[in-house]
């Protein structure tokens, strides 16, 4: 596995050392049971897989290298590097400017962007239309394209499916940068539709059965390629992902399409492409790890990451079904025994007093793919301090070493 040079303040002592101990005794990472840190009356169940993934590390490394190598250049990011407020704020403070927000709204006019400026493409990738703008401005992006390789893999899969005559169904959030990037490529190669959830798929399957073009346009007009015709373009389909979606929902979506085409044609194999899952490895691992965490009896769960992070939000959704769950982006959200957390359903911050039980407490702690390990460690230290305990690095690591050496 390639190593990355990231700013020291993103690193942690206990979390990273604990991860190394796990990897030493389980190098293939087949054991996805949590790492358990026990103190008096307090236990932390930390996910086996969490935090910065390959694509995020690569993107952050390229950003900070650009700042170091080109100190006199004006450096721009097309939009947020990753969906983590703390990382993006740090980049802003170091002099990088964002050309667009996460919804694609222009923050800096293209007229102000010059040929000699450095433009960094974020891990989500960007659309063909944006690439054309950069090309016309003669801006080279080869060194500064941080597009995640797993996103590129989805683009390649989509192109291949289109060449085989399949209409591409993109399971993703229509306004998300990655889905917009994928959609721009898919519609170049052939008919394409974005479905955001199983409700969209249920409606689309009704349309496939009933052949209602007007109904289709009323629901998918802004989520489909130009001149989309349901009689012509819904005979053969292939499903690909925004890489950070819930794997379980993608499986439901594919099965729903298979059932629909089986009813129509008796056999779905010629009508629904046999696509393998296009979720990235980190998304799969983090979701599986979170499900494993939830098998353990705990009092509460703390999920850490950016509030607009798709992959982190899905971890919150999984956890919320089983246990009281708090979605935060920093240890600053915790003060005494009060936690200020983001409520996904209400789409706003909510205060919860006395969130820690009075007696012994077992806490699930994990994070999304765009969260630095150091934030988990700061949260753990904050809770330990509230419970008037001490967190000794040596003690914790010695205990873990003895346990996993067995």
Catalytic residues: 178
> Do 298 and 363 contact (CB within 8 A), yes or no?
yes
Rg (CA), the chain: 23
First-to-last alpha carbon distance for the chain, in angstroms, is: 26
CB 269 within 8 A of CB 166: no
What residues contact residue 177 under an 8 Å CB cut-off, 6+ apart?
79, 80, 102, 104, 122, 124, 125, 126
Sheet (strand 35-39) strand order: 35-39, 42-46, 361-367, 300-304, 325-328
Count of beta carbons in the 10 Å neighbourhood of residue 332:
13
- Close Cβ partners of 336 (under 8 Å, ≥ 6 residues apart): 386
d(CA 395, CA 393): 6
Nearest to 119 by CA among 105, 133, 129: 133
Closest CA to 176 of 188, 168, 184: 184
CA atoms of 87 and 112, how far apart (whole Å): 25
Give DSSP secondary structure letters for 175-207: TSHHHHHHHHHHHHHS-EEEE-SHHHHHHHHHH
Which positions ≥6 away from 266 have C-beta within 8 Å?
A: none
């Amino acid at each position: 596995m390639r190593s990355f040079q990231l700013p020291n303040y993103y690193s942690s002592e206990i979390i990273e050392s604990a991860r190394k101990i796990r990897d030493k005794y389980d190098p293939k990472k087949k054991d996805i049971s949590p790492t358990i840190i026990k103190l008096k009356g307090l236990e932390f169940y930390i996910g086996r897989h969490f935090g910065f993934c390959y694509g995020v590390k690569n993107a952050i490394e390229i950003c900070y290298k650009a700042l170091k190598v080109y100190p006199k250049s004006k450096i721009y990011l097309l939009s947020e590097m990753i969906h983590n407020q703390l990382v993006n704020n740090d980049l802003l403070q170091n002099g990088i400017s964002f050309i667009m927000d996460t919804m694609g709204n222009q923050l800096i006019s293209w007229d102000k962007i010059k040929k000699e400026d450095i433009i960094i493409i974020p891990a989500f990738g960007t659309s063909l239309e944006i690439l054309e703008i950069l090309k016309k401005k003669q801006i080279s992006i080869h060194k500064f394209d941080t597009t995640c390789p797993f996103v590129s893999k989805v683009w390649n899969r989509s192109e291949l499916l289109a060449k085989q005559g399949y209409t591409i169904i993109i399971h993703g959030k229509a306004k998300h940068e990655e889905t917009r990037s994928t959609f721009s490529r898919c519609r170049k190669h052939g008919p394409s539709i974005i479905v955001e959830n199983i409700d969209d798929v249920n409606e689309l399957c009704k349309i496939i059965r009933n052949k209602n073009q007007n109904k289709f346009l009323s629901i998918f007009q802004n989520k489909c390629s130009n001149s989309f015709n349901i009689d012509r373009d819904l005979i053969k389909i292939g499903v690909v992902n925004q890489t950070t979606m819930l794997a379980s929902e993608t499986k439901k979506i594919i099965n729903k399409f298979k059932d629909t085409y089986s009813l129509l044609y008796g056999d779905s194999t010629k009508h629904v492409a046999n696509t393998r899952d296009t979720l990235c490895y980190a998304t799969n691992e983090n979701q599986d790890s979170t499900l494993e965490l939830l098998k353990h009896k705990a009092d509460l769960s703390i999920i850490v990451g950016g509030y607009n992070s798709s992959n982190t939000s899905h971890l919150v959704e999984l956890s919320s079904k089983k246990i009281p769950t708090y979605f935060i982006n920093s240890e600053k959200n915790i003060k005494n025994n009060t936690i200020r957390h983001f409520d996904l359903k209400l789409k706003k911050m909510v205060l919860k007093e006395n969130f820690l039980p009075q007696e012994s407490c077992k806490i699930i702690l994990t994070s999304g793919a765009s969260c630095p390990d150091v934030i988990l460690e700061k949260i753990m230290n904050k809770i330990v301090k509230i419970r008037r305990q001490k967190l000794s690095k040596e003690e914790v690591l010695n205990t873990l070493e003895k346990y996993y050496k067995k």
